[in-house]
A and B are shown apart, each in its own frame.
Chain A
Amino acid sequence: MGVRIERSEIAGIGVRHDVVTKSGQRIGVLIYRDDRREVAMYDINDPDAIAQSVSLTGPEAEAVADLLGHTAILSQLSELSGNVVGLFTEHLILPADSKYLDGPLGDTKARTRTGVSIVAIVRGTEVIASPTPDTGLEIDDVLVAVGTRKGLDDLANLLAKTTN
């Protein structure tokens, strides 16, 4: 199973992304409006509450992200569109049982169906910028998409379709 990232907006304060690890630990990354970041570990007994958290400055966050892997590229990408009203950048992980897996990107007809542009595909440490309809989709690919909130939700649903 791919990693699921949950995104929650806290109006007037910032955005939080959560990841639940295989072992059941929830990790949250908060990005405040003023660019401060906070990495939080949630309580195992009470998964809604923070047990411990660390505040990071922008450069510190980048350093940690670099150490951890390719997430650095992703978080920077999602920040680019931070000031454009109504337009979001989101990284969508291709579900392992998606019917579009192993086929070309063009099969999804994402732009026609959802109005969302897929601007890049992140595969491991490699980035395929501006993928064409012929670009193949592989397991664990991360699609970087730009569109409206609704369009991105539609795209996520589209990608989640299985062969049956």
Chain B
Amino acid sequence: MNLTTDTLLLIEVGALLLLMSVLGRIANRLGQSAIPLYMTLGLLFGSGSLLPLDASQEFLHTGSEIGVILLLLVLGLEYSPTELMTSLKKNASSGILDALLNALPGAIFGLLMGWGPIGATVLAGVTWVSSSGVIVKVLRDLGRIGNRETPTIVSILVMEDLAMAFYLPVLSAIVVGATLAQGFVTVAIAVGLVLFVLIVTYHFGSKMSRVFNANHAESLLLGVMGVAMLVAGIASAVAVSSAVGAFLVGIALSGQVAENAEKVVEPLRDLFAAIFFLFFGLQTNPGDIPVVFLPALALAVLTMGTKLLTGYVAAARAGIGVPGRWRSGLALMPRGEFSVIIAGVAVAAGVDAKIAPFAATYMLITVISSPVLARITDTRWFKRRMQNSATTSVKTLRGDGSR
């Protein structure tokens, strides 16, 4: 047998994909997200593990970068500029509440752990953003898409995603370790650029989409992928973060082009996003996890509580009844792809080595426990409790009905 690096690469990647496919099915069977399983698989084969894989490292690294770009591109494709603007206008206060309640605990925790201002900024992002992917999947699985609290939940997710378009460039500027003045200039440029693109997209989005032919799948796929990677690269070169570049491309495309592009890009996204989560696991040394487990658990419990509060308050403001407020709060708890992306930015920039295992552990705790917790509101126990409290306060419930 002749094992060159190339053949070894094929064997390693093939075996990993096959394992992930099995894990994906198991996760689906359990009503869970597959993300934690992919990351755990990465931990098993990663650096400092029992069975490190070497030949495929470079390929998986590139693949994971494409994965981030595709995750954000598809996220952007799902939203139209108008939806973003209306969400921004209608739910700005809930978005701000969400940021304060969830980013601050992370930041304070980062300082307490002695990770400095950069570590604090990283953790603020990690605890702030809920996982739209996991949450929408849970809502679908539980048949709650049509529930009246769902638009509130989704609008908070939209606000967070949009906020990331500003947060990530700021983070990228900070982690490169610029001086305060330099950093300020970079951040100003990044934020200005993002705003500029959003405004242009809002006004001329439909014209930009006409560059592509929506009905020719192959050229659409190549074209959209090309633009996304090109813009992501340029964005990264001017320290705006490649993820944000791809997100903006996704938002810029609208109408039929966006709809068809989503269809052709989605399978690719599934492949490379899985590689992204796997690679994050590979990079993380499992030996570091026991040290960070308890702090991560503490922060997870704390920030799942603050998310619960965020959702509860936001739903109450939207005129949703008490059970719906609990459903909103519980649904918002899982953190996911963004927390990993943010931690990935920190790792790439060489911030404190403990942050990656910490973020991984934190995210795994929230993402595994949340789909289970979200089901509490469907239990008989919860419904009976709600009914008991409802009969005692019928008047207040009626009072804050719809709008």
- With A46-B386, A149-B86 in contact, is A13–B147 under 8 Å at CB? no
A18 touches B80 (CB 8 A): no
Is B206 engaged at the interface, CB distance under 8 Å to the other chain? yes
Contact for A11 among B145, B148, B155, CB less than 8 A: B155
A105 CB, nearest partner CB in chain B, Å: 28
Of B78, B151, B206, B327, the residue contacting A49 (CB under 8 A) is B327
Q: Could you say which interface size class chain A belongs to?
A: 20 to 34
A6 and B155 contact, Cβ closer than 8 Å, known pairs A13-B136, A18-B148, A85-B254:
no
Within 8 Å CB of B256, what residues of A?
83
Q: A11-B79, A85-B82 are in contact. Are A53 and B87 (CB under 8 A)?
A: no
Contacts A/B (CB < 8 Å), 25 sampled? A6-B403, A9-B86, A10-B145, A10-B150, A10-B151, A10-B154, A11-B78, A11-B83, A11-B155, A12-B83, A20-B402, A33-B259, A45-B383, A46-B321, A47-B148, A47-B401, A48-B148, A48-B324, A49-B147, A49-B327, A50-B147, A83-B255, A85-B81, A85-B254, A85-B255
6 closest residue pairs by CB, A with B: A48-B324, A12-B78, A48-B148, A40-B146, A11-B83, A8-B151
Q: B147 near A48 (CB under 8 angstroms)?
A: yes
Q: Give complex CA distance A40, B148 in Å.
A: 11
Q: How large is the interface on B (under 10, 10 to 19, 20 to 34, 35 or more residues)?
A: 35 or more
A18 to B: closest C-beta gap in Å:
7
User: Chain B residues near A53 (CB, 8 Å)?
Assistant: 143, 146
Nearest-Cβ distance from residue A36 to partner chain B, whole angstroms: 11
Residues in A with CB closer than 8 Å to B320 are 48
Specify which of A6, A16, A49 is in contact with B402 (CB 8 Å cutoff).
A6
Name the contact of A30 in the complex, choosing from B145, B154, B401 (C-beta under 8 A).
Answer: B145
Chain B CB within 8 A of A38 CB: yes
Report how far A85 CA is from B154 CA in the complex, Å: 20
**A99: min CB distance to chain B, Å:** 23
Q: Chain B's nearest CB lies how many Å from the CB of A104? A: 31
Tell me, rounded to whole Å, the shortest Cβ–Cβ distance linking B359 to chain A. Answer: 26
Task: Specify the chain B residue showing the minimal Cβ separation from A30.
Answer: B146
Is A13 a contact partner of B143 (Cβ separation < 8 A)? no
At the interface, yes or no: A59 with Cβ under 8 Å from chain B? no
Q: A47 — which chain B residues lie within 8 A by C-beta? A: 148, 321, 401
In the complex, the answer to whether B327 meets A45 with C-beta atoms within 8 Å is: no
CA distance A38 to B145 in the complex (A): 10
Q: Which of B253-277 contact A (CB under 8 A)?
A: 254-256, 259
Collect the chain A residues with CB atoms within 8 Å of residue B149's CB.
Answer: 48
Are B206 and A85 within 8 A (Cβ)?
yes
Report the separation of the CA atoms of residues A13 and B136 in the bound assembly, to the nearest whole angstrom.
9
B219 is an interface residue with CB less than 8 A from chain A:
no
A residues neighboring B (CB under 8 Å): 6, 8-14, 16, 18, 20, 28, 30, 33, 38, 40, 42, 45-50, 53, 83, 85-86, 149
Chain B residue nearest to A86 (CB atoms) is B82
Separation in Å of the B384 CB from the closest CB of chain A?
Answer: 11
Distance to closest chain B CB from A98 (angstroms): 19
Residue of A nearest to B402 (CB): A6
Cα of A48 to Cα of B145 in the assembled complex, Å: 11
B323-A48 in contact (CB<8A): yes
Q: How far is the CB of A90 from chain B (nearest CB, A)?
A: 14
Residues of A within 8 A of B383 (CB): 45-46
Tell me which of B80, B82, B149 has the highest count of chain A C-beta atoms within 10 A of its own C-beta: B82
Tell me, in angstroms, the Cα distance from A149 to B82 when the chains sit together. 10
Quote the shortest CB–CB distance from B311 to chain A (angstroms).
13
Q: B36 interface residue, CB < 8 Å from A?
A: no
Find the A residue at minimum CB distance from B319: A48
Per-position binary interface string of chain B over residues 368-394, scored 1 when its CB falls under 8 Å from any chain A CB and 0 otherwise: 000000000000000100110010000
Given known A12-B158, A85-B254, contact A45–B390 (CB-CB < 8 A): yes
Question: What CA separation (Å) do A46 and B324 show in the bound complex?
Answer: 8
Are A28 and B390 within 8 A (Cβ)? no
**Are A13 and B321 in contact, with the CB atoms below 8 A?**
no
* CB proximity of B331 to chain A, nearest CB, Å: 12
Q: 9 other contacts beyond A46-B321, A50-B144, with CB at 8 A cut-off?
A: A6-B402, A11-B84, A11-B155, A30-B146, A33-B259, A48-B327, A49-B323, A53-B146, A85-B82
In whole angstroms, what is the CA distance A48 to B318 when docked?
Answer: 11
Q: Does B42 count as interface, using CB distance less than 8 angstroms? A: no
- In the complex, the chain A residue whose C-beta lies closest to that of B209 is A85
Alpha-carbon gap, A86 to B85, bound state (A)? 10
Q: B144 CB to closest chain A CB, in angstroms?
A: 7
For the complex, what is the distance from the CA of A28 to the CA of B146, rounded to whole Å? Answer: 7
Query: Which A residues lie within 8 Å of B402 (CB)?
Result: 6, 20
CB pair B83–A8 under 8 Å, yes or no, is: no
Q: Report the separation of the CA atoms of residues A8 and B81 in the bound assembly, to the nearest whole angstrom.
A: 17
B380 nearest CB across to chain A (Å): 13
B144 touches A49 (CB 8 A): yes
